[in-house]
Amino acid sequence: MADPVEPIRHGGNLREAARRYSIPLEDWLDLSTGINPRGYPVLPVPPDAWRRLPEDDDGLAATAARYYGAEAVLPVAGSQAAIRVLPSLLRRGVAAVAPLTYAEYAPAFERAGHRVVTLDVSARDLPAELDHVIVANPNNPTTERIAPDVLLRWHEQLAMRGGTLIVDEAFADADEPGASLAGQADRDGLVVLRSVGKFFGLAGIRVGFVLAAEPVRRALNDALGAWTVSGPARHAVRAAFDDHAWQRATREQLGKDSQRLAMLIASHGFASVHATPLFAWFETLDAASLQDALATRGIWTRLFDRAGTTPSLRIGLPGSEGDWARLARAFAELRA
């Protein structure tokens, strides 16, 4: 077993895992992220996309608005760019974040001078002290989903006190459209964040979208500055949003693969496996040792061991039959 070290903060940091376990990078099966392993097949990039400065009126924002069913969107360099800047644009106050969710929200709000508290995601009414609420829907990693009517109720309560509801829908593309608040994002006090990194498997091009009322989009655009999304990235995303046949086929395949993954994990004795179309998650007191044992076999997964929560593991989708067989074989060896 490897010596205890500081846990890796995010999935996808495969080079660090390769150094830690002394396994060559090319020998790993990386299941540590929720990124579609069969991402969108990007078409060749036109030469002008490399040579010219990106242009805001190239149709990307309009294409994205149609895809999301939103009135207007702001393209950004991945939703992470918005996460880091948005808190500084909001009135300082008390911000509530789920106890186990994407780890960048709490420090971003703290850096901007907000007091961060834990959100009770089962509540129908929010405590009066809260000014801002941040939720991922579906949540990463727990897969929890909050019904749109509950979110809109929260938004109404926050808006009445000048607060903001931020809904991170990075994993929502594979869900039914009715579960998204994208079409409601023009309301004051509501911000919806979307990403092309997960469902489309295009994490490397760093493109996300902010869906919000015009004053928020304008303030965020001013803060981020010009040319935040590169020309090649803009070309790739426009093509992906317009390819409806690929989207339909991918949603169907991801649904089958997520069920397959949950069944594989459960068949080896792990109870209460929760799945989204892009990853499976389960709690177990042996999460750290299980991650380590899989890593010694060159399979990288994502450990969650935050204080106050039960240790858990998130496992992404294998991308080929060979990868599926390798994961099943590793679990069988561990069970034996």
Q: Which of 217, 208, 207, 150 is nearest to 187 (CA)?
A: 217
Q: Which of 121, 1, 293 is nearest to 303 (CA)?
A: 293
Q: Which of 105, 106, 104, 133 is nearest to 121 (CA)?
A: 133
- Pair (217, 265) in one structural domain: no
- Pair (114, 192) in one structural domain: yes
% helix, strand, coil for the chain, step of 5: 40, 15, 45
Other Cβ atoms less than 10 A from the Cβ of 92: the count is 14
Evaluate if pTM is beyond 0.75.
yes
- Domain of 103 in residue numbering reads as 47-242
- Pair (238, 250) in one structural domain: no
Q: For position 22, which CATH number holds?
A: 3.90.1150.10
* The dihedral sign for the CA sequence 14, 86, 140, 239: negative
Residue 2 in domain: no
Can you give the pLDDT of all 336 residues of the chain as single tens digits?
333 334 446 667 899 999 999 999 999 999 999 999 999 999 899 999 999 999 999 999 999 999 999 999 999 999 999 999 999 999 999 999 999 999 899 999 999 999 999 999 999 999 999 999 999 999 999 999 999 999 999 999 999 999 999 999 999 999 877 789 999 999 999 999 999 999 999 999 999 999 999 999 999 999 999 999 999 999 999 999 999 999 999 999 999 999 999 999 999 999 899 999 999 999 999 999 999 999 999 999 999 998 888 999 999 999 999 999 999 999 999 987
* The dihedral sign for the CA sequence 94, 99, 105, 110: positive
Start-end of H helices in 161-243: 214-224, 231-242
How far is residue 309's CA from residue 196's CA, in Å, rounded to a whole number? 29
